[in-house]
Chain A
Amino acid sequence: MESTIQGRVYKFGDNINSDIIIPGRYLIYIDRERLAQHAFEVLGEGFPAKLREFQILVAGRNFGCGSAREQAATAIQGLGIQAVVACSFARTFYRNAINDGLPIFECPELYPDVQEGDSLRIDLAASKIRLRDKEYAFPQLPDSVKKILELGGLANYLKTQLAGS
């Protein structure tokens, strides 16, 4: 995982559920590209193609609520999205994102200030997000959990653990 993540923002509202992120009929797939073709398609015309122009998703409360489908995180990565910053995440999505190697950040203070197309710079070591000339702090993940994300997800983490034992 890079120490900084930079990119343009697409902004969502509250309660974006995992059925919106990837409908159940595509759960027969697990590869990023295939899932990405259908990510957010229920939102109508232009989706998901237009999301490929952005690198960071910003969302309101309870992002990823609903089903425990891990492919929600996989599909977002398949779109080329490098991070999701939300006011809060549903716990199933939170775990799946970490396990899938998708960086996520809780930062409710940022939400009202950011607009679609804005540029964000996320500094992981400093736990700060920069928007124009303003900085926003976000809580660090616990060390044990951060390690999973740093290795690109739980499968890689397991590989490392198994190799070491």
Chain B
Amino acid sequence: MPGFTIAEKILAAKSGRTSVRPGEIVDAYPDLVMSHTATWRSVSVMQKVGATKLYDPDRLAVVLDHIAPAKTEKNATDQQVSRNFARTNGINKFYDVDAGIAHLVLMEAGHVVPGDLIVGTDSHCTIYGSLGALGTGIGYTEVASVWITGKLWMKVPETFKIVLSGKLAPGVYSKDLMLHLIGTLGADGCGYKAVEFHGHATTGLSVSERMTMTNLAMEMGVKCAFVPPDAKTEEYLRGRMDKSKQYHPVSADADAVYEKELPVDLGKLGPMVACPHEVENTKPIQQVEGTRIDQAFLGSCANAKYEDLEVAARILKGRRVHPNVRLIITPGSKQILLEASKTGVFQTLLEAGGMFTNPGCGACAGDGGIMADGEVCLSTANRNFIGRMGSSKAEIYLSSPATLAASAIKGVISDPREFF
């Protein structure tokens, strides 16, 4: 009998089966159910169906990240509902509007470990695969259902194996790899599939870079994406892992069955940019260099981690943001902001002409940084859909933090490699 992939092993374990194969539908019991700013909506579903009891309050995590702090009375009331729900039900993993983006906050706090099954009200739950957990997005009604019943139906996905070799050139990052893959495979190139990143080059990438990979994998339609846990995963989790958890990495068997294998030589990649209005509309930087930008947004669960801010700071140190560009920096979490303030990254970015907003989803979710008709934004986020950052007549380009920093200096989309 052939072996199993990571997704197959996790779904078997969480549904009490010895093994499962692609196409099977199982009732799976997630270890963690994340709800963000949408929490109040799930609370309203609980009330609607007349449920009062949670399956297990310790499996819930609530993080108020999308509109933080409240901008309107409506937001304030909704957040009050979420807060009261967390207090009344003894939700220990509750993080208020000061904490940052749910995904980054939960990983930093050690709530995500290899082999976990995690669902949540956000499509970018795929990011948890950077630590070897199966993360996937669901709607708020289904979150309420999992709160109450502890389970949900899941179809076991086929798995694609992406094998990375070579080494990224200076100025090129895992964001560029992902934009390359999304452009090559398309927005549904991995529709309903699990993806595993393998190869020596994968083990060379930092946990932060892996987070960008499993986050962006969503934009090629994945159900979940994994970087197999290794020494770097263990090191990241050391000292931060939940006391209730144990480190039991789940790896694919050597003879696991993959639907497709795709080799990628990192050494051949250059900076990539996603052009309006779809992420799959990617181009090598040479084809978009010189495009005017009005706003540069360094933020989102894809690329507002400490390493991302540091890369931008290295390029911006001693330089100035172009007078026609607003550089908005929204750190992914309070921890990231704290670290940046200790190391001088915060000061460097401010002195270069950047402005900081409070940690959270920020402009990526339309919370501030709204664009006017005809304006152009270069963003480190994961989506450039029409109207996502304000006017539907505005344009959003996506890039790595390095490309963003280089472009913010020049006022036009620019190749970051000249700064290395």
Contacts and interface: CB of A to CB of B under 8 A. Distances in A.
Interface stretch (A1-9, A24-32, A124-132): A24-32
Interface in A56-79: 61-62, 65-70, 73
A65 B221 contact: yes
A30 B47 CA distance: 14
B387 A68 contact: no
Interface in B303-354: none
Contact of B141 (A42, A44, A62, A155): A155
B142 A62 contact: no
Given A19-B385, A62-B188, A154-B142, A92 B123 contact: yes
A96 B144 CA distance: 13
A68 B221 CA distance: 12
B229 interface: no
Contacts of B121: 68
Interface in A110-165: 142, 144-145, 153-155, 158-159, 161-162
B358 interface: no
B38 interface: yes
Given A19-B386, A27-B38, A90-B221, A100 B141 contact: yes
Contacts of B153: 144-145
B392 interface: yes
Interface stretch (B48-56, B87-95, B231-239, B255-263): B48-56
Contact of A17 (B38, B141, B149, B385): B385
A5 B164 CA distance: 48
Contacts of B25: 142, 144-145
A117 to B, nearest CB: 25
Interface in B135-192: 136-142, 144-145, 148-149, 153, 187-188, 191-192
A42 B386 contact: yes
B23 to A, nearest CB: 10
Contacts of A44: 392
Contact of B387 (A15, A19, A90): A19
Nearest to A153: B141
Contact of A155 (B49, B278, B392): B49
B383 interface: yes
Interface residues of B, number: 45
A30 B142 CA distance: 14
Contact of A62 (B75, B140, B221): B221
A99 interface: yes
Contacts of B294: none
A163 B23 CA distance: 31
A158 B49 contact: yes
A92 B74 contact: no
B366 interface: yes
B366 A25 contact: yes
B123 A68 contact: yes
A25 to B, nearest CB: 5
Given A90-B191, A91-B221, A145-B153, A68 B50 contact: no
Interface string A5-46: 000000000010101100111011010000000000110100
Given A66-B383, A68-B122, A144-B25, A15 B142 contact: no
Nearest to A62: B188
A161 to B, nearest CB: 8
Given A154-B142, A158-B149, 14 more contacts: A19-B385, A28-B72, A65-B221, A66-B123, A66-B383, A67-B122, A95-B138, A96-B139, A99-B142, A99-B145, A100-B141, A154-B145, A155-B48, A158-B49
23 contacts: A15-B280, A20-B387, A24-B388, A28-B74, A61-B188, A62-B187, A62-B221, A66-B383, A67-B122, A67-B383, A68-B125, A68-B139, A88-B188, A90-B188, A91-B192, A96-B138, A100-B141, A153-B141, A155-B45, A155-B144, A159-B48, A162-B50, A162-B51
Q: Which 3 A-B pairs have the closest CB atoms?
A: A70-B139, A68-B137, A42-B387
